[in-house]
C-alpha cells in the first residue's frame, strides 16, 4: 500500500508581520517593537521545525501533546530566552524563579535577581485576551503574548486542528491595585494566583504592542 504524505499545513504557524505592530508603543529598558517581532518570528520558526518533524514521523504536534498551561508556559519561556538575543540592553533573569523574567542587562551581578519589582519585564503567554494571572499582586511591567493554537482535546472535536498564530501583545506598568488576589482555602491544593483586573487590562490595552488582523486560515477561533 502506498504511504500517504502527511498533511503539514497545520504545522506552519502564521508568521507575524511588522506592519501590525504599534510604532508608538512605550516599552522600557531599550526594547523595541522590532526586537519583539524578531523574537516572535523565532518562536514560529521553532514551532514549524518541531511540528513538521513530529508529523512526518506520525506523531502529534507539540501543542497537541502538552497540557495547555504547559504549552503557554513554553511560549513565554521561549520569548524570555530569545528576546535578549535581539535586544542587548536586557538579559534573562538567571536567578531560579527570579522576578521579573527580564532585567536591565549588567545591572545585577551575573544578571540574577531574586525579586526587584518593576525593575524589569515580566513575560507571560496566554490563549486568553484578558483575565491574565500571576502569583502575586505587585507593581510590575507586564508583557503578555496572546496566541491561538491547538490543544490535546482538538483530536476529538469536529472542527479540527488550528494553526498557531500570535493574536496580540500587550504591555504596561501595572500596580498592586490592578490585581485581584485569589488566595486559597486551607484545604485547597491549587496554586495561589492573582488576576489582572480591568484597570490593569485597560493600561495594557492602551499601550498595545501587536494586534493581528482577522485570519481565515484557522478552522475555529480560541
Asked if residue 20 belongs to a domain, the reply is: no
Asked if residue 82 belongs to a domain, the reply is: yes
pLDDT level of residue 221 (50, 70, 90 thresholds): very low
Asked if residue 4 belongs to a domain, the reply is: no
Q: What is the mean pLDDT of residues 86-91?
A: 98
Asked if residue 33 belongs to a domain, the reply is: yes
Q: How many domains does the chain have?
A: 1
Expressed as residue numbers, the domain containing 122 is: 27-211
Choice between 218 and 40, residue whose per-residue pLDDT is larger: 40
Asked if residue 10 belongs to a domain, the reply is: no
pLDDT at 58 over 70: yes
Asked if residue 122 belongs to a domain, the reply is: yes
Q: What is the mean pLDDT of residues 11-30?
A: 96
Asked if residue 71 belongs to a domain, the reply is: yes
| Residue-wise DSSP of 116-185 | -TTSSEEEEEESSSS--EESS---EEEEEEEEE---GGGGG-TT-----EEEEEEEEEE-GGGEEE----
Asked if residue 203 belongs to a domain, the reply is: yes
pLDDT level of residue 183 (50, 70, 90 thresholds): low
Amino acid at each position: 500500500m502506498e504511504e500517504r504524505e502527511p498533511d503539514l499545513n497545520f504545522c506552519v504557524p502564521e508568521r507575524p508581520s511588522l506592519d501590525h505592530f504599534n510604532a508608538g508603543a512605550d516599552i522600557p529598558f531599550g526594547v523595541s517593537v522590532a526586537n519583539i517581532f524578531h523574537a516572535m518570528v523565532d518562536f514560529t520558526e521553532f514551532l514549524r521545525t518541531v511540528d513538521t518533524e513530529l508529523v512526518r514521523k506520525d506523531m502529534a504536534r507539540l501543542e497537541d501533546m502538552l497540557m495547555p498551561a504547559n504549552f503557554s508556559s513554553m511560549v513565554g519561556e521561549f520569548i524570555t530566552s530569545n528576546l535578549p538575543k535581539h535586544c542587548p540592553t536586557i538579559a534573562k533573569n538567571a536567578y531560579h524563579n527570579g522576578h521579573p523574567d527580564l532585567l536591565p542587562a549588567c545591572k545585577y551581578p551575573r544578571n540574577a535577581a531574586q525579586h526587584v519589582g518593576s525593575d524589569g519585564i515580566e513575560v507571560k503567554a496566554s490563549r486568553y485576551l484578558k483575565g491574565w494571572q500571576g502569583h502575586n499582586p505587585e507593581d510590575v511591567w507586564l508583557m503578555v503574548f496572546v496566541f491561538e493554537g491547538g490543544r490535546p482535546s482538538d483530536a476529538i472535536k469536529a472542527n479540527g486542528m488550528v494553526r498557531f498564530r500570535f493574536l496580540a501583545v500587550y504591555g504596561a506598568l501595572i500596580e498592586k491595585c490592578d490585581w485581584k488576589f485569589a488566595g486559597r482555602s486551607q484545604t485547597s491544593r491549587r496554586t495561589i494566583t492573582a488576576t489582572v483586573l480591568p484597570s490593569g487590562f485597560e493600561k495594557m490595552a492602551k499601550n498595545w504592542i501587536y494586534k493581528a488582523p482577522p485570519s481565515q486560515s484557522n478552522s475555529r477561533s480560541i
